[in-house]
């Protein structure tokens, strides 16, 4: 989709559809009033008849029948003004753009600023994100023709100076593009997104955005003592990869400001502790954390953020075989701690143990890890909120704020010290699973053992990485959460 900025009166724009926004129970004013006048009072008539109420994501289409250069006018409901947020605008844009695609409308225009966002640059960014996120689809392996059309061009129209639009559009494109990149990676079948494929994607990002790349192979992992990652990998014929992307926005001589660590299990069968077959196909997405941090660092590079960032992804499959890790086995992580394996289906924390220890070796000032870690998290918070566990309240607060700005909701969760009893082992320093109660908390406590005193937050995206339905900016399948949250966090730290 091409996005461009125009100056002038939106009622004079020749396009397939004009998009205008209308809050609930309000009088027509400004842009929508001018459009209504051109339509001979058609909008006001529908409002008075109760057909247009302005409820959130309500969509009404009026054909102009030659009274405007545009073929149609689309009125997008925003809900109550008192509850209006940039994310509601973002979601409304996404819903409208999908509606226009279903009607095979190829071009559209939206006026800026938008109701509820007085800053034209921010409004342009939000509209851009909504359009690109809402119209995302993954068709790489589908040979039949698409059932919907494509919006080839979306114009953002301002009455005056368009410089702010020309700044907001690229920002929105980078953020949405990064989220859609993560979606592509997660939506790929497991045989097309192996550890080697993840490393190849990292190489492509490094070349495109001038990011340093290092990929550790099995022998190097052995030399570093990465027993957690190697233990999980030993059941698979696919070679494990330890991917490190470094973006240096403050110069090569400066240290790492923040390390973003992402779980990269490219397929999770559960290993010897095998999962039920129902919905197992979704376990191709168990590398969503790894995809998120790779996409986030690519966005940070494009925005030329003045911080040094590392994205760290331990990548492997978790499969059962004659050589696979078994319940009762012990492994030694990179920091020297020994781990008793209770369940081979709690493998994500094993590979993250080595990755977090590696981040500590890099001397990162902050560490954030992202993982589809526990079913308990989805039970606790459903599919709207990501759970955040941390040892630093300031960093946790920044992540919650970054998520709110992105429309990717984050809820702080407790790290309950008393629950450490559940992961004490009688044969090793620690075991990888406690009781079923508070499972997301004990998983976070396990990870904390490999962080030290570094300010750290763990984001459990087990409930938010995937969606069964289409709503707002979310489409079915991979969501791209929490790519935009991570980028917003980095920007706030910068």
* Number of other CB atoms surrounding residue 378 within 10 Å: 20
Q: Is the pLDDT of residue 21 over 90?
A: yes
Task: Single out the residue of 357, 103, 407 nearest to residue 226, CA to CA.
Answer: 357
- Characterize the bridge pairing of strands 258-262 and 59-63: unpaired
Contact 42, 75 (CB under 8 A): no
- Taking residues 237-245, report their average pLDDT: 98
pLDDT of residue 251: 83
- CA-CA-CA-CA torsion sign (170, 402, 349, 449): positive
pLDDT, position 268: 98
What is the model's pLDDT at position 159?
Answer: 87
Segment 132-191, tens digit of pLDDT: 999 999 999 999 999 899 999 999 999 888 999 999 999 999 999 999 999 999 999 999
> Quick check: 115 pLDDT over 90?
no
Question: So what's the pLDDT on residue 25?
Answer: 80
The pLDDT score that the predictor gives to residue 254 is: 87
Q: Confirm whether pTM is higher than 0.85.
A: yes
Smallest CA-to-CA distance from 266 within 228, 236, 245, 295 is with 236
Q: Which residues are catalytic?
A: 275, 349
Using DSSP bridges, classify how beta strands 72-77 and 17-22 pair: parallel, antiparallel or unpaired. parallel
> What would the two tokens of residue 328 be?
């009762």
**How many Cα atoms occupy the beta-carbon half-sphere of 256 within 13 Å?**
25
Please determine, for residue 195, whether its predicted confidence score (pLDDT) is greater than 90: yes
The answer, yes or no, to whether residue 348 has pLDDT greater than 90, is yes
Q: Average of pLDDT values for 240-252?
A: 95
Cα dist from 265 to 7, 193, 349, 361, whole Å:
48, 10, 11, 22
CB 96 within 8 A of CB 76: yes
Nearest to 329 by CA among 223, 234, 213: 234
Q: Is the pLDDT of residue 460 over 90?
A: yes
How many CB atoms are located within 10 Å of the residue 12 CB?
A: 12
Q: Which residues contact 390 (CB under 8 A, 6 or more apart)?
A: 396, 399, 412, 415, 455, 456, 457, 458
Strand partners, 459: 370, 388
Burial of 80 (0-12, 13-18, 19+ CB in 10 A): middle
- Domain(s) labelled CATH 3.40.630.10 in the chain stretch across 193-493
Task: Write the DSSP assignment of 187-249 as a string of letters.
Answer: HS-TTTS-HHHHHHHHHHHHHHHT-EEEEE-HHHHHHHT-HHHHHHHTT-SSPPEEEEEEEES
Q: How far apart are CA 330 and CA 427, in angstroms?
A: 8
Among the listed ranges 145-149, 241-245, 265-269, which one has the minimum average pLDDT value?
145-149
E strand or H helix at 299? helix 288-302
pLDDT score recorded for residue 247: 97
Split at pLDDT 50, 70, 90, the class of 48 is very high
- In 425-491, the DSSP E strands lie at 430-431, 456-460, 466-467, 477-478
pLDDT at 408: 98
Least confident piece of the model among 12-21, 48-57, 112-121, 385-394: 112-121
Assign domain 193-493 to its CATH superfamily: Zn peptidases (3.40.630.10)
**DSSP secondary-structure letter at 453?**
T
Q: Which of 274, 349, 354, 275 is nearest to 312 (CA)?
A: 354
DSSP state of 474: B
- Note the pLDDT of residue 253: 82
Query: What is the rounded distance in angstroms from the CA atom of residue 44 to the CA atom of residue 41?
Result: 5
The predicted-structure confidence for 287-306, as pLDDT tens digits, reads as follows: 999 999 999 999 999 999 99
Mean predicted confidence (pLDDT) in 351-374: 98
DSSP 8-state secondary structure symbol assigned to residue 93: H
CATH classification code of 2-174: 3.40.220.10
Contacts made by residues 278-287, CB under 8 angstroms, sequence distance 24+: 282/466, 283/190, 284/186, 284/188, 284/189, 284/190, 284/193, 285/186, 285/187, 285/372, 285/465, 285/466, 285/478, 286/318, 286/348, 286/372, 287/185, 287/186, 287/193, 287/198, 287/262, 287/263, 287/313, 287/315
Task: Look at residue 13 in the predicted model and tell me its pLDDT.
Answer: 96
Q: Average pLDDT, whole number, for the chain?
A: 96
Residue 347: the pLDDT is 98
Say if residue 376's pLDDT is above 90: yes
Give CATH 3.40.220.10 domain extents, the chain.
Answer: 2-174
The mean per-residue pLDDT over the stretch 57-78 comes to 97
What percent of the chain has pLDDT above 70?
A: 100
Per-residue pLDDT, 26: 84
| Helix pair 195-209, 288-302: axis angle to 10 deg | 10
Q: Give the separation between CA 227 and CA 169, rounded to whole angstroms.
A: 45
pLDDT of residue 118: 85
Q: What angle do CA 337, 338, 342 make, to 5 degrees?
A: 135
Segment 423-447, tens digit of pLDDT: 999 999 999 999 889 999 999 999 9
């Amino acid at each position: 989709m091409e996005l461009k900025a125009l100056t002038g009166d939106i009622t004079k724009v020749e396009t397939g559809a004009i998009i205008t926004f209308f809050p609930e129970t309000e009088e027509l004013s400004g842009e929508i009033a001018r459009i209504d006048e051109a339509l001979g009072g058609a909008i006001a008539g529908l409002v008075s008849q109760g057909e247009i109420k302005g409820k959130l994501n309500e969509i009404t289409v009026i054909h102009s029948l030659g009274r405007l250069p545009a073929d149609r006018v689309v009125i997008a409901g925003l809900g109550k003004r008192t509850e209006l947020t940039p994310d509601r605008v973002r979601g409304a844009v996404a819903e409208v753009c999908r509606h226009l695609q279903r009607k095979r409308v190829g071009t559209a225009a939206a006026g800026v600023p938008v109701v509820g966002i007085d800053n034209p640059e921010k409004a342009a960014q939000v509209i851009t994100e909504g359009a690109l996120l809402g119209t995302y689809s993954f068709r790489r392996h589908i040979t039949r023709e698409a059932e919907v059309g494509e919006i080839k061009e979306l114009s953002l129209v301002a009455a005056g100076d368009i410089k702010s639009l020309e700044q907001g559009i690229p920002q929105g494109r980078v953020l949405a593009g990064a989220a859609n990149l993560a979606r592509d990676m997660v939506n790929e079948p497991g045989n097309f997104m192996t550890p080697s494929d993840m490393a190849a994607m990292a190489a492509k990002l490094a070349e495109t955005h001038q990011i340093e790349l290092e990929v550790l192979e099995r022998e190097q992992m052995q030399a570093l003592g990465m027993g957690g990652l190697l233990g999980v990998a030993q059941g698979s014929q696919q070679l494990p990869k330890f991917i490190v992307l470094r973006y240096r926005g403050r110069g090569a001589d400066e240290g790492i400001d923040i390390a973003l660590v992402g779980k990269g299990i490219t397929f999770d069968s559960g290993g010897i502790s095998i999962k039920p077959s129902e919905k197992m196909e979704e376990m191709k997405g168990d590398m969503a954390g790894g995809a998120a941090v790779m996409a986030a660092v690519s966005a940070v590079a494009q925005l030329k953020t003045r911080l040094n960032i590392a994205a760290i992804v331990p990548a492997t499959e978790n499969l059962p075989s004659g050589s696979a890790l078994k319940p009762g086995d012990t492994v030694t992580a990179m920091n020297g701690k020994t781990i008793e394996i209770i369940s081979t289906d709690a493998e994500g924390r094993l590979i993250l143990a080595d990755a977090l220890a590696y981040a500590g070796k890099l001397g990162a000032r902050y560490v954030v890890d992202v993982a589809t870690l526990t079913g308990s998290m989805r039970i606790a918070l459903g599919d709207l909120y990501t759970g955040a566990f941390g040892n630093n309240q300031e960093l946790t607060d920044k992540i919650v704020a970054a998520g709110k700005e992105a429309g990717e909701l984050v809820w702080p969760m407790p790290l309950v010290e008393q629950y450490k009893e559940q992961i004490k082992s009688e044969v090793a320093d620690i075991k990888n699973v406690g009781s079923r109660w508070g499972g997301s908390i004990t998983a976070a406590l396990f990870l904390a053992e490999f962080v030290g005193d570094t300010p750290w937050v763990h984001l459990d995206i087990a409930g938010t990485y995937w969606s069964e339905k289409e709503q707002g900016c979310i489409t079915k399948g991979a969501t791209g959460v929490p790519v935009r949250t991570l980028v917003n966090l980095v920007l706030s730290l910068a």
